[in-house]
């Protein structure tokens, strides 16, 4: 695989968690939950490559035991000079970093790895992470600076060995070119994500932004309220893009005995990831306190909602669980108000003891200068022309009659 390449576009981070690496605000675009999948693998004789994309943390004990055939990672057979696994991302994405996790693999950990990305736009593979040394039995976080959009990535290791998990973090960049199409702007597969929550145990996972859930473990269920205090938990969702909303659907499939009594939903427009830090964000009521059907779908339609919305804040009142929230709409851009150009009145020059002939000459000079002046200068505060100032000085120097 050659020598290690030094590049300012990537660096290895001294971190052992997503939070330490600073990737918590990115989407795991390789996640099998969002639709990431193994496209191609050179060898998986001792451990299947699909383990790379598992949501659960790697079982270290399984990987430490060389005699255990149930390894929890991707493991090639011995004496393989290189290994390669190609992953299709959940959607086209800009990539911010990687975690090449070798938890539990000590003797059979590869020495080096690199990552390539496939660009659909020009149908070429590009090196995202040059060949880099990786450490055994640890997380290997890499920060990358790359503005390109990729649909697939290829992890290459040398020599062949074991990798427990491979996580790709970035921002999903879907194609919004069809302006007439309605999108579920609250879909995690399009880039929507939960950025703030009150239920510390369950609310910060993306389940309610995913399709296909049918049981409670696929959704969000809050703890029960106590007699002395109702919970009223909420989640704050950053939509996949700013949109003109048409409807919001609350799906409680699987929660027929645990659905909330009511929901209350607000929306705002903000260019910040979390609008709680945006002093200019203005929240509007989208759905007033309203009952939802248990074990089914409740749809709220909008007719007079004109301004684009970027964030949704949904409260469950007083508590309960939902399977999914769908926010249907079209991508929209917020119109910026143009500053008004106010034309100021020209300064009035008062001339004492002026003759009728001098008046005619001065007026002619000023009119000619205005006609020859560009429009943008005419909108600026008017100043006396040089000719007018000269005429004034000349007249003031005349002896009194």
Mean pLDDT over 215-244 rounds to 93
Predicted local distance difference test score (pLDDT) of residue 396: 44
pLDDT of residue 386 exceeding 60, the answer is: no
pLDDT in tens, 276-324: 999 999 999 999 999 999 999 999 999 888 899 999 999 999 999 999 9
- Pick 10-172's CATH classification: 3.30.1490.190, 2.60.120.260, 2.40.50.140, 2.60.120.10: 2.60.120.260
- Pick 183-331's CATH classification: 3.40.50.720, 2.60.120.260, 3.40.47.10, 2.40.50.700: 2.60.120.260
pLDDT of residue 330 exceeding 90, the answer is: yes
Cα dist from 322 to 86, 183, 219, whole Å: 35, 20, 6
Residue 193 is inside which H or E element, if any? strand 193-197
The SS3 assignment for 167 reads strand
Predicted local distance difference test score (pLDDT) of residue 201: 87
| Number of residues that this document lists for the chain | 401
pLDDT in tens, 341-364: 555 555 555 444 444 455 454 444
Q: Residue 317 forms beta bridges with which residues?
A: 262
Burial status of residue 257 (CB atoms within 10 A of its CB: 0-12, 13-18, 19 or more): exposed
d(CA 313, CA 185): 14
Predicted local distance difference test score (pLDDT) of residue 147: 92
Give a three-class secondary structure readout of 269-293. CCCCCCHHHCCCCCCEEEEEEEECC
CB 10 within 8 A of CB 133: no
Predicted local distance difference test score (pLDDT) of residue 5: 37
Predicted local distance difference test score (pLDDT) of residue 252: 97
DSSP-assigned states of every residue in 76-94: PPTT-S-EEEEEEEEEEEE
Reported as a pLDDT band with limits 50, 70 and 90, residue 388 is very low
CB 101 within 8 A of CB 139: yes
User: pTM here?
Assistant: 0.76
Predicted local distance difference test score (pLDDT) of residue 8: 57
In the chain, pLDDT over 90 holds for what percent of residues? Answer: 72
Is 10-172's fold the same as 183-331's?
yes
pLDDT of residue 371 exceeding 90, the answer is: no
Mean pLDDT over 158-170 rounds to 97
Predicted local distance difference test score (pLDDT) of residue 1: 40
Reported as a pLDDT band with limits 50, 70 and 90, residue 395 is very low
pLDDT of residue 383 exceeding 50, the answer is: no
Tell me what percent of the chain is helix, strand and coil, each rounded to the nearest 5.
15, 35, 50
Q: Residue 316 forms beta bridges with which residues?
A: 263
Predicted local distance difference test score (pLDDT) of residue 209: 96
Mean pLDDT over 44-64 rounds to 95
Domain ranges within the chain, ordered by starting residue: 10-172, 183-331
Report the chain's mean pLDDT, rounded to a whole number. Answer: 85
Sign of CA dihedral 252, 255, 256, 262: negative
pLDDT in tens, 179-218: 889 999 999 999 999 999 999 888 888 899 999 888 998 9
Q: How many other C-beta atoms can be found within 10 angstroms of the C-beta atom of residue 382? A: 16
DSSP type of residue 23: -
d(CA 256, CA 296): 8
pLDDT of residue 275 exceeding 80, the answer is: yes
Reported as a pLDDT band with limits 50, 70 and 90, residue 251 is very high
């Amino acid at each position: 695989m050659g020598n290690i390449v030094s590049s300012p576009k990537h660096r290895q981070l001294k971190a052992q968690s997503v939070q330490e690496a600073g990737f918590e605000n990115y989407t795991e675009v390789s996640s099998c939950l969002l639709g990431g999948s193994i496209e191609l693998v050179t060898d998986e004789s001792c451990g299947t490559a699909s383990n790379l994309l598992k949501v659960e943390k790697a079982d270290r004990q399984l990987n430490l035991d060389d005699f255990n055939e149930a390894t929890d990672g991707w493991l090639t057979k011995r004496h393989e000079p290189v290994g390669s696994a190609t992953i299709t991302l959940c959607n086209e994405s800009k990539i911010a970093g990687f975690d090449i996790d070798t938890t539990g693999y000590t003797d059979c950990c590869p020495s080096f790895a690199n990552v390539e990305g496939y660009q659909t736009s020009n149908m070429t593979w590009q090196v995202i992470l040059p060949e880099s040394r990786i450490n055994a039995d640890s997380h290997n976080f890499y920060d990358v600076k790359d503005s390109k959009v990729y649909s697939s990535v290829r992890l290459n290791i040398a020599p062949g060995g074991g990798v427990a998990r491979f996580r790709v973090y970035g921002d999903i960049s879907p194609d919004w070119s069809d302006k007439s199409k309605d999108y579920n702007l609250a879909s995690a597969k399009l880039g929507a994500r939960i950025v703030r929550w009150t239920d510390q145990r369950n609310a910060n996972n993306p389940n309610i932004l995913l399709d296909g859930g049918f049981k409670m473990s696929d959704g969000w269920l809050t703890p029960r309220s106590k007699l002395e205090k109702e919970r009223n938990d909420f989640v704050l969702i950053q939509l996949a893009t700013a949109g003109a909303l048409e409807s919001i659907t609350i799906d409680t499939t699987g929660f027929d005995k645990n659905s909330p009594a009511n929901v209350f939903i607000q929306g705002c427009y903000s260019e910040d990831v979390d609008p709680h830090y945006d002093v200019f964000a203005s929240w509007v009521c989208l759905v007033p306190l309203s009952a939802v059907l248990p074990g089914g779908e409740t749809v709220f339609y909008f007719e007079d909602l004109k301004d684009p919305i970027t964030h949704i804040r949904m409260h469950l009142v007083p508590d309960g669980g939902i399977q999914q929230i769908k926010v249907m709409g079209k991508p929209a851009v917020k119109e910026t108000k143009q500053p008004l150009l106010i034309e100021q009145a020209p300064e009035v020059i008062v001339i004492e003891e002026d003759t009728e002939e001098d008046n005619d000459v001065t007026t002619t000079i000023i009119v000619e200068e205005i006609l020859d002046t560009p429009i943008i200068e005419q909108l600026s505060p008017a100043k006396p022309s040089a000719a007018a100032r000269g005429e004034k000085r000349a007249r003031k120097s005349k002896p009194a009659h």
